[in-house]
Amino acid sequence: MIARFLRVLLFGLAFLFVMANVHEVGHTVFARLLGDDSAHYVLYQARGSGACMGCNLYDSSRMGDLANVLVNLGGVIFTQLLCWAAILLLALRDVFKQWMLLTVIGITWLGDAILQLVQGLQVNIPEHLARGPESTYIDYGAVVWFLRDYTGTSASDLKAAMVLATIGYTGLLLLATRWALTRRRR
C-alpha cells in the first residue's frame, strides 16, 4: 500500500514538473505564432534581485489584445492537450497503466485549469496593464484585462464567464474520462 502511494506520488511530482514546462512552452509557441519572434522560454534565469524558474518571456506590445489573450491561454491549451491525449490513451487497453493516465488527467485539470481559474478570480484587474517585455502576467488575470480592453465588458462579467466556461469544460472532461474508462473495460 505504501509502495503504491509512493509510486503515484513520485510519478505525480515528475509529471507536475513536465506539465509546468509544457505550460510555459505553450505560451512561448503562441507568442511566436502570433508575431513575437523574440519570445522564448527559459528554465532558469537570474535577474537583478530575483530569479525566474520556468518562464515564458515575450513582448505583449508586439501584438493586439486578442493575440495576447491567446498567448495567455496558450499554457492551459498546451496542458489540456496533454490531458486529452491521456484520455484517448486511457480508452486503449494496456497502452499505459490506468493509474498513470488518471493521474495525468487529474493533475492537468486541477493543477492547471482550476489553479489558473482560482488565480484569475483572485487577482485585482488593474485599470492599465503594462505592455512590453515581461514575464509576470497571471494568465487568466491578463486574459480578463485584455478582453476588457478589447470589448469593454466588465472584469466581473468576464470572470463569471470564465467560471461558467470552466464548469462546462469540467463536465466535458468528466464525460470523456468516463467514456474512456468504459471503453477500456470492454
- Distance (Å, rounded) from C-alpha 94 to C-alpha 109? 23
C-alpha cell belonging to residue 34: 502570433
pLDDT (tens digit, 0 to 9) for every residue of the chain, 186 residues total?
898 899 999 999 999 999 999 999 999 999 999 999 999 998 888 777 677 777 888 999 999 999 999 999 999 999 999 999 999 999 997 778 999 999 999 999 999 999 999 999 999 988 887 888 865 688 999 999 999 999 999 999 999 999 999 999 999 999 999 999 999 887
Q: Are 158 and 147 in contact (CB under 8 A)?
A: yes
Q: How many helices (H) and strands (E) does the chain have?
A: 6, 3
Cα 92–166–54 angle (5° rounding)?
80
Read out DSSP for 165-184? HHHHHHHHHHHHHHHHHHHH
State the pTM of this model. 0.90
With residue 46 as reference, give the H or E element that holds it.
strand 40-47
Q: Which residue, 186, 178, 180, is CA-closest to 91?
A: 180
Provide the 8-state DSSP code for 110: I
Q: Which residue, 2, 183, 26, 3, is CA-closest to 101?
A: 183
Residue 162's contacts (CB-CB under 8 Å, 6 or more residues apart) are 117, 120, 121, 140, 143, 144
Q: What is the pLDDT of residue 174?
A: 97
Q: What is the pLDDT of residue 88?
A: 95
